Amino acid sequence: MSTTEKTTAVGARVPRIEDLRLLTGAGTFVDDITRPGMVHACFVRSPLARARITAIDITEAAALDGVVAVYTAADLNPLVTEISYALDTPGFPEVPRPPLAEGEVRFVGDPVVLVVAADRYIAEDAAELVVVDYDPLEPVVDYETAGAAAELVHAQHPGNSAGGLAGRAPADLAPVFDAAPHVVRQTVHQQAYAPVPLETRGIVAEWTAPTGEMTIWTSTQSPHEVRGFCSRLLGVDEHRVRVIVRDTGGGFGQKVAPQREETCVMLAARTLRHAVKWIEDRQENLMAAGAARHEHGEVAMAFDDDGRILAATIEHVQNVGAYPIPSPLTASIAVGMLFPGPYRIPEAGFSTASYYSNTVGRVAYRGPWQFESVSRELLLDTAARRLGLDPVELRRRNMLSHKEMPVANPNGMPYSDASPLETFEQALRILDYDAFRAEQARARTEGRYLGVGTCTYVEPTTGSTPFLSTEGATIRISATGKVNVYLSGGSAGNSLETTAIQLTADALGVDIAEVQTVQGDTAVAPQGGGTNGSRSGSMVAGAIAQTAEVLRERIIAIAAHQLGAEVEDVEFAHGRAGVAGTGKSLSLAEIAQIAYFRTELLPVGVPPGLEATGRHRADQMMIWANATHVCTCEVDIATGAVQLLRFVVSEDVGPMINPNVVEGQIYGGTVQGIGGALYEHLAYDDDGNPVATTFLDYLLPTAAEVPVIELGHTETPSSGPGGFKGVGEGGAIGSTPAVLNAVADALAPFGVQIDRLPLSPARIMTMIDAARTNGNTEVTA
């Protein structure tokens, strides 16, 4: 007989536990933190993209009433012991990371001076009194020409190179391409855009001199990464740094690691012996918190006469700005490795190169390797038109199915437990693809231009890199039978709070109402990698399962001893242990009383107390999730406006811990990808000035621009805990190419080929006008 009857917490559409707190304004964000004697920080930032700092006069600023300190690089930078990240990869080129600009500013927004005052208003007033003399230098703005530029962003990086790597060289596949009946090449440029979390960056750092301890409240996805970073930065033991994270209003990659401003605040707090608070405003966020996606690729595929892919290559180049965090090469390698995607491709090659420029540094962003799908899926639609095939048919001839798993792609990526073709067909059924094609044909006779686009991708989740390969959980059952589960944290809008409670309730055999979670406090939570790499669901599930198993065995052993039964005859569910057919049972509270206070009643070998810590190790290299996005749209050829009509996502993330949470993650990521396709652009002028530093200039999609997102699910369990897979990043990967292909399909009668993003109305009109100039006029179906 089973010793434990599982509850049904996992898989249920449990309302988000955190919503009551957050929707009633009872959340605790960094700006809600107040400490005795706390002072406030403000940065003086460079107005120039590149210039030599010739003098800094802080006299008037320092004399202003209420100013506590004014720091320049000469004051702050020498205090650094080490600046490094757990995500840094040994052997990669060293990346410059000075806290304050030293000698030279390298982008508009570069922090030059740190002002600390009694409040933010005084700090801002003082910042305006700081006088910095600059000797302007020619900036390197265009990363595409940075390699040949005479000017260097960093003197120690010749050719402005931030490094590069390659798999099989694309040139090595020249014989395959030369012999192929059909070859399609395309160059795709993706613009810079930003994570733009609802809550900007923020930190409160408080140094306690008598004990030599630092306490940090911050907005982060990775509390233990912040602790380790601060320990290395200050040269203090890690156990003397406590990081506390309560509510975090979004991260999307921007908050996986502390950046230069947080570095400055930590250093200043130790020097001042005051708690120092810095809260970023939105203009700072758009100007200095980091960019992503800015890249291009020269992509090519060779096909046989039946439209089957013979080979594929990508030559990928990305802008890393002036101060990328963390190493920018990690994601670029993934672009090359993943470029073959969910298709049968016998041979592939890739190269990747990264260049510094005098723009804001590159940071992680949801699905950081997303360009592999953008470039590949655009190329496939272009190829289909040139081969005279429907894009759906071309994909069907080449797409991998679940029955072909496991299989390695030509770059050696070991796909498993995925179902690309199955999600593809499901999404097309939800749309009714044939019916749409008929509707499109009718619309064109009326002078209306409708289009449909798809994207199918495979996504590595839960990667087992050294820093991220394990995750811990502590479960403590109180003497009243109530349960607390302690986790590293990183809950940044991804509902990890709710799913952790569901997982714990299910693993222990108690009701959800009896469980609470404590996250984001490094003083009580076991070491963990935080939220990134679509890892949280699987890793937390494994850690909770291992920990709960220890406690279940202990609970049942105590119950069996008290009830005079064999362990195998005891059932434990809904917080009660009993023996079937006897009427005898004990509540978890009664068992806990014995464990804590009547230890003489414990069976031999069972330790007192009901608390345990467990650790899950991800033995597999990665867990594969996959999805298909299908978008339909209408393009107004008189204005260039794009109206999205329908959006369908078929996702395979294995069993769902909470369908509401999974679907929320898909919705959020999909909207971000739509923004990248049509609206968002962190643009610079030719002098390196950012021209989108407010939401009047930096456009985000709203509910008015996004259609209802229709979802389908397929379920292929992974080899990881519970069969779960990651879901956090996928929506942002698949939606952008689906939208782009829909627009390209709508404009196919003009022979338009997309080569640059975003597809603003102005860009669409430029493409149509160029096509007409080249002799491609409107075609009526």
Tens of pLDDT, residues 655-677: 999 999 999 999 999 999 999 99
What does the pLDDT average to over 459-480? 89
pLDDT at 464: 67
Only one residue has tokens 């080249």, namely: 774
> Side-chain half-sphere of 426: how many Cα atoms within 13 Å?
21
What residue ranges do the domains of the chain occupy? 19-23+470-617, 38-137+198-250+255-288, 295-464+620-773
pLDDT at 1: 30
Do the domains spanning 19-23+470-617 and 38-137+198-250+255-288 agree at the CATH topology level? no
How high does pLDDT run on average in the chain? 95
Residues 6 or more apart whose CB falls under 8 angstroms from that of 594 comprise 558, 562, 601, 602
Per-residue pLDDT band at 8 (split at 50, 70, 90): confident
Q: How many beta carbons lie within 10 A of that of residue 134, not counting itself?
A: 17
Contact 562, 573 (CB under 8 A): no
Per-residue pLDDT band at 718 (split at 50, 70, 90): very high
pLDDT at 259 over 80: yes
Out of 3.30.499.10, 3.40.50.300, 3.20.20.240, 3.90.1170.50, select the CATH number for domain 38-137+198-250+255-288.
Answer: 3.90.1170.50
Report yes or no on whether pTM surpasses 0.85: yes
Per-residue pLDDT band at 779 (split at 50, 70, 90): very low
Q: How many beta carbons lie within 10 A of that of residue 120, not counting itself?
A: 16
Nearest-Å Rg of the Cα atoms of the chain is: 28
pLDDT at 177 over 50: yes
Residues 6 or more apart whose CB falls under 8 angstroms from that of 473 comprise 485, 486, 487, 526, 540, 543, 544, 546, 547, 613, 614, 615, 616
Amino acid, single-letter form, for residue 118:
A
pLDDT at 6: 43
Only one residue has tokens 């464990």, namely: 595
pLDDT at 491: 80
Q: Kindly report, residue by residue over 353-386, the tens digit of the pLDDT.
A: 999 999 999 999 999 999 999 999 999 999 999 9
Domain 295-464+620-773 matching CATH 3.30.365.10: the answer reads yes
Fold of 19-23+470-617: Aldehyde Oxidoreductase; domain 4 (3.30.365)
pLDDT at 736: 98
367-388 in b/e form (b: 16+ CB < 10 A) is bbbbbbbbbbbbbbbbbbbebe
